[in-house]
Amino acid sequence: MPAAAKLSFLDRHLTLWIILAMAVGMVLSTLWPSLPSQLQRFSVNGISLPIALGLMLMMYPPLAKVDYAALPLVLQDKRTLYLTLLQNWLIGPVLMFVLAVVFLHDQPEYMAGVILIGLARCIAMVLIWNQLAGGDKQYVAALVAFNSVFQMLFFSAYAWVFLNWLPIQLGLAAHSVHIDFALIAQSVLLYLGVPFALGWLSRALLTRSHGLEWYQQRFLPAISPVALIALLFTIVMMFALKGADVLALPLDVLRIAIPLTLYFVLMFGSSFFLSRAIGNDYTKTTAISFTAAGNNFELALAVAIASFGLASPIAFTTIIGPLVEVPVLLLLVRWALRLQAAYFQKD
């Protein structure tokens, strides 16, 4: 059976849903020109409450899926732990920074959006890609838990370094976007910290009262569509506010998609062959590779909206991530299965 057929109906057509949400938003911008002012009526300190609620609901289901009890597993193999740290928290951000500068230096806000995507490590879709490719489910769960905790602690600092400090040090100040460290930290606390706490509490309390099987087989499937609905709601609102800018978007989407596609392929390929080089089997190698290649677009979108505004080019850039991810990562699933046949003995 083709890998795509194993995806849920919603996940398999994610790219289509995003395109439809963009179209609905564009129609609304024409039919409902007073929408921006009406949204502002439900704001506190400049934050639109419907959008803020949507962003938190978007983050909650992925974080409710994280099994923090698996975290010690990633700490046992030191060589693999170092490889994971290197790929996810040094090579990945640096590679995305370089690609953003090369392809988008004349569009500082798009450049910043792509860099922001590179800083947010994957905690949701990686579970699906890993399963489709036959990767180690326990180890990928441990990696997801590790990255969830790590980005909770360090994402704000990474965002300040790569969006503010590093461009200045490299003489790219004219092409950089100034960010407020305190505002980024506040955004991470609100849109990652609150769903993080709720996700952890959900797993802890509900598995204790109803059992792990009920939690995984009944509760998680029930809340999973909430993340997609919240994402699509945010996209509709974003494009409803873009108005006259929409005619330039197709070319912009292509320019943003090029560095993202290169990033996915390069991160997956380098992680795969480095993991194999240090002696890992196919299942663990696959888990490491998809974790390194994927990104947490929900977090990047939430931070971009909170820091730069719903209709900002930076927020728009983060939407292109999932638009590109699904077709490219499906191709990487097929590539992984071919690499298994070529470089590993069948388990």
Q: How confident is the model at residue 292 (pLDDT cuts 50, 70, 90)?
A: very high
What confidence tens digit (pLDDT) does each residue in 128-173 have?
888 888 888 888 888 888 888 888 899 999 999 998 888 888 887 6
Mean pLDDT of 264-288: 94
pLDDT of residue 32: 77
Please give the helix or strand (H or E) that residue 47 lies within, else none.
Answer: strand 47-48
User: CA-CA distance, 88 to 268, in Å (whole number)?
Assistant: 11
Which of the residue ranges 57-66, 68-77, 196-205, 255-264 would you say has the lowest mean pLDDT? 68-77
What confidence tens digit (pLDDT) does each residue in 115-125 have?
999 999 877 77
Tokens of 211: 């059992």
State yes or no: pLDDT of 14 exceeds 90: no
Tell me the domain boundaries of the chain: 7-342
What's the maximum distance between 2 C-alpha atoms anywhere in the chain?
A: 62
pLDDT of residue 203: 92
pLDDT of residue 4: 43
**Taking the domain 7-342, which CATH number applies?**
1.20.1530.20
Alpha-carbon distance values, 135 to 128, 281, 284, 331, 347 (Å):
10, 10, 6, 15, 11
pLDDT, averaged across the chain? 85
One-letter amino acid for residue 192 of the chain? L
Share of the chain above pLDDT 90, in %: 32
Query: Do the Cβ atoms of 223 and 64 come closer than 8 Å?
Result: yes
Q: Of 136, 337, 271, nearest to 346 (Cα)?
A: 337
User: CA-CA distance, 106 to 313, in Å (whole number)?
Assistant: 13
Q: How confident is the model at residue 343 (pLDDT cuts 50, 70, 90)?
A: confident
Query: Do the Cβ atoms of 289 and 117 come closer than 8 Å?
Result: no
DSSP, res 247: G
pLDDT of residue 308: 84
What confidence tens digit (pLDDT) does each residue in 238-269 have?
777 665 555 567 788 889 999 999 999 999 99
DSSP, res 44: E
State yes or no: pLDDT of 66 exceeds 70: yes
Query: Do the Cβ atoms of 140 and 66 come closer than 8 Å?
Result: no
Which of the residue ranges 198-202, 278-282, 294-298 would you say has the lowest mean pLDDT? 294-298
